[in-house]
Amino acid sequence: MNETERTVAQELEAEGWTVLRRGWPDFLAVRGKELKFIEVKPNPCDDDVSLLSPYQKDMRAALRSIGVHVWIMPGAVTELAELERDMERERSE
């Protein structure tokens, strides 16, 4: 972080903002009006969150607090169909 960024971060924090710089998902995918935040892990399991670093967990929590879902998926495009189904299921809930 350079000095200007540090100053801005400190000012934001003084105003009550939480400034996160690390832990962003690997991809922000955009199609039309849809957004997907995707974290790629080589071998996700049922407890996908356990694969995240502390920074990634903080970022995921911050995004979820404003209603943004972060998908955790293996490094295979074939899993994208499953993500699509999950997204449709979440919309209908």
**Average pLDDT taken over every residue of the chain:** 83
pLDDT tens digits along 59-78: 999 999 998 888 887 665 55
Domain ranges of the chain: 22-92
Which has the minimum average pLDDT: 9-18, 21-30, 84-93? 84-93
The answer to whether the CB of 37 falls within 8 A of the CB of 63 is yes
- Mark out the alpha helices in 1-93 (DSSP H runs): 3-14, 54-65, 80-92
Tell me how crowded residue 26 is: count the other CB atoms within 10 A of its CB: 14
pLDDT tens digits along 25-50: 999 989 898 888 888 887 766 557 88
DSSP letter at 35 equals E
